[in-house]
Amino acid sequence: MNLKVLVVGHGAREHAIAKKIVESDAELHAAMGSRNPGIAGLSKRSEIMDITDTDRYAKFGDVDVAFIGPEAALAAGVTDRLNELGVPVVGPTREASKLEWSKAYTRLFLSDHGIEGNPEYSICRTGGEIREFLDAHAEVAVKPDVLTGGKGVRITGEHLKSREEVEAYAMERIGSDGLVVLEPRLVGREFTLQAFTDGKSVSVMPLVRDYKRAFDGDRGPNTGSMGSYSREDHGLPGLSEASVRRGVSIMEHTVRELTATGEAFRGVLYGGFMETEEGVYLLEYNSRFGDPEAMNVLALLKRPLLDVGWEIIDGRLSDLGFEMKATVCVYIVPDGYPVDPKRGSEVRIKQPKSSELFFASVHEEDGAILTTGSRSVALLAKGESISEAREKVYGDVPGIEGALFHRRDIGEGV
């Protein structure tokens, strides 16, 4: 009998997870905030529901295993709830995922457990504490303590033009969250590491670079990300192997210490790092696959994701194995995204020739695919090189029509 596998979430990342799961002939069940037509089409049962409402999961007590995509569901304790129902989950508990949903907790966790990678930081609860930090540091990063969909961190010189703007934003966050984390602005090369972990070993995936800004040349507002690439050698241009090893060692140490506290992290840990002249610093942790980074790495994963999931749950994670190919992923988003996205407008899709298509935040009405307020569709292509993958994916982009735009420079010049 086929295993019943629940996938939680309705974005392109979850569509990518769902596609990998059904490769194992599993019976797919889906819990989605809105109807992703790609996931729904693969599923035996799909429920449209508030995926953070843990009471709504009683109906999934009959599934054999669950994969959780979005951080909001992890932070709400969906893993804990499913575990109570006897369902093993690939995705950390609420407590273990605190690494993502509380930036202050993560800084303190690293400090308290002697884990390297923290920059100087201040957890501020008053205007006086903010001003004291700003007197010592002309340029800072203001980090909300809570989940902000990747759009909450603001940096002097990039998003905040003056000390007054920094103070105002930091005070706004204290007003809404009770506290805010301030750190000096770090200058260097940013990179991220995604790793599967069973709470013991940490198995790193090919490195991926994503593009957060809305427009070509890294201009415009921050978005959930407009695309990403990974190279055939699984590295990133200019990034030293020593820095990658340092990042991995910070993640391994964090995982060990979490397990020692009784809160083993089982799932995907995503570390954002900065390589600087002084060393490698942890910028932040995410407790799940990146989106779009999941598409890049899952396209290369040679083994069935379901098998990897069982190894994570059983605490016997073994070698992964990824194809030595390049990938380029391009998001196609509604005009006006992210500030004033054109909602409810039709997306007309021709089947791509050389790329894989993932639905993101669209909804289907009377057979038509319509935009919502977020990214619509992602296309991903693999190639022997980045230029081959770019050629394939950009060759298919014109087949996605509507009041939409995309970046033209994903993977350019790397």
Nearer to ligand GLY, 166 or 360 (CB): 360
- Asked if residue 64 binds ligand GLY (CB under 6 A), the reply is no
Contacts with ligand GLY by CB under 6 A: the residue count is 7
Among 56, 220, 204, which residue's Cα sits nearest to residue 6?
56
Quick note: the x/- pattern for ligand GLY over 197-216, rule CB under 6 A, is: -------------x------
Among 14, 275, 293, 396, the residue binding ligand GLY under the rule CB under 6 A is 293
Strands (E), 217-355: 219-222, 227-230, 267-276, 279-286, 326-334, 348-349
β pairing state of 65-68 and 89-90 = parallel
- If binding is defined by CB under 6 A, does position 290 make contact with ligand GLY? yes
User: C-beta of 134: minimal distance to ligand GLY in Å?
Assistant: 27
Burial of 157 (0-12, 13-18, 19+ CB in 10 A): exposed
Tokens (6 digits) for 310: 């069982």
CB of 105 to ligand GLY, least distance (A): 18
Which residues lie across from 89 on neighbouring strands? 66
**Rounded (5°) CA angle 296-152-184:** 100
Instruction: Kindly report whether the peptide bond that precedes residue 338 is cis, defined as omega within 30 degrees of 0.
Output: yes
225: contact with ligand GLY by CB under 6 A: yes
Name the segment binding ligand GLY (CB under 6 A); options: 1-9, 290-298, 320-328, 401-409. Answer: 290-298
Contact residue for ligand GLY among 291, 311, 356, 396 (CB under 6 A): 291
Q: Which is nearer to ligand GLY, 206 or 402 (CB)?
A: 206
Q: What residue type is assigned to position 97 of the chain?
A: S
Binding residue for ligand GLY (CB under 6 A) from 54, 93, 286, 355?
286
Residue pointed to by tokens 């000096």: 184
Q: How far apart, in whole angstroms, are the C-alpha atoms of residue 39 and residue 357?
A: 12
∠ at Cα 220 (178, 142), nearest 5°?
A: 20
Q: Where does this chain touch ligand GLY (CB under 6 A) — which range of 43-51, 62-70, 129-137, 285-293? A: 285-293
The residues, any chain, with a CB within 8 Å of residue 22's CB and separated by 6 or more, are 28, 42
Which one of the spans 41-49, 183-191, 289-297, 330-338 is the region binding ligand GLY (CB under 6 A)? 289-297
- The nearer residue to ligand GLY, 33 or 290, going by C-beta atoms, is 290
List residues binding ligand GLY (CB under 6 A).
Answer: 150, 210, 225, 286, 290-291, 293
